[in-house]
Structure 1
Amino acid sequence: MTDQRLASVDLDEATLPSATAEIEHERRVAIFDLVEKNVFTPEGADAGPYGLKLSLQDNRLVFDITGIDFARTYALSLTPLKSVLKDYLMICDSYYEALRGSSASQIEAVDMGRRGLHNEGAELLKARLDGKIEIDHETARRLFTLVCALYRRG
């Protein structure tokens, strides 16, 4: 096996919820971070790198993966992720609000909760991809960030 990583990530614009300029920026940063460093090995693939197109369809997160002599699509229900997605996005809003006027200890407490939920979401996503796509913890974190950016509405 060679070059087991993502070389590109695209979002299906037709399936994305409307977004503010801030959310669009979050999406671009999440894609950049994911492509910059990742471990990504689809089951049954021999050689990368891979391209990934993500979309939201019928309450599913759809992974369209292409590579050298490889193409596969996986659709994961968002239902198991919805609770952690909603909680994570809510605590992110609290974190940004805290940055505008809370004490350092309050900001740190909210940030610890935010990081904990981020890790929980990453591990849940990694478990949902088990047997389909092998990823490491950091790639799972970056993918979860992108899923949040996809899920968040403007």
Structure 2
Amino acid sequence: MTGATLPDPQARLIAVELDHTIGSAPPDIEHERTVAIADLIEDNLFRPVGVAEGPYRLRLSTDAGRLVFEIASTENTPLVTHILSLAPLRRVMRDYFVICDSYYEAMRSATPSQIEAIDMGRRGIHNDGSQTLRERLAGKIEVDLDTARRLFTLIGVLQRRN
């Protein structure tokens, strides 16, 4: 979150956990998860609507085709749980997985210009998914675009594990 104003130290995540009962993902996906969580913790805007001041802990999981946001206080006291249908994200998530697979394959054998072209497409689809996620969270959790991008990456990791 760059800009002239400092972020609200209360409207942020201090911990993010993914449901680990699903299993592990390939190393490149696990690397994305690690980076996304570290980046998310370092710089985020996360403000659940109608919930006591933060900062917050977040546990992300999936259950029967739904995305579960379990939000807790710094002391791990449950505050609110939001459950969202994954249906609006399925198409963009599927497209994102296809282009990510192409990107990882290209990293092994393609020219730099081919890799750059695939990466531009990957970022575009990632932005579409992030915007869809922001729209789905509207009225429930306020997030900025960078936070939504990192959350979208983590949702992708959860979906890849399923």
Match of residue 108 from structure 1: 116
Q: Deviations over 1:55-94 (max 9, x none)?
A: 1101111000012787100111111101111110110111
Q: 2:29 aligns with which of 23, 32, 36?
A: 23
Equivalence map 1:113-128=2 (5 Å) = 113-128=121-136
C-alpha contact (below 8 Å) 1:2/1:47 kept by paired residues = no
> Cα distance 1:24–1:103, how it changes in 2: closer, same or farther (>3 A)?
closer
Runs (5+) with no aligned partner, structure 1: none
> Is 1:6 aligned to 2:13, yes or no?
yes
2: CA distance, partners of 1:28 / 1:53: 15
Aligned length: 153
Runs (5+) with no aligned partner, structure 2: 1-7
- Kindly report the root-mean-square deviation, in angstroms, between the aligned alpha carbons of the 2 structures: 1.9
2: CA distance, partners of 1:141 / 1:109: 20
Identity of aligned residues (%): 55
TM-score (structure 2 length as normaliser)? 0.86
> Cα distance 1:2–1:27, how it changes in 2: closer, same or farther (>3 A)?
closer
Q: Secondary structure at the match of 2:109?
A: coil
Equivalence map 1:1-154=2 (5 Å) = 3-14=10-21, 16-67=22-73, 71-153=79-161
Q: After TM superposition, where is structure 1 displaced by more than 4 Å over at least 4 residues in a row?
A: none
TM-score (structure 1 length as normaliser)? 0.90
2: CA distance, partners of 1:29 / 1:105: 25
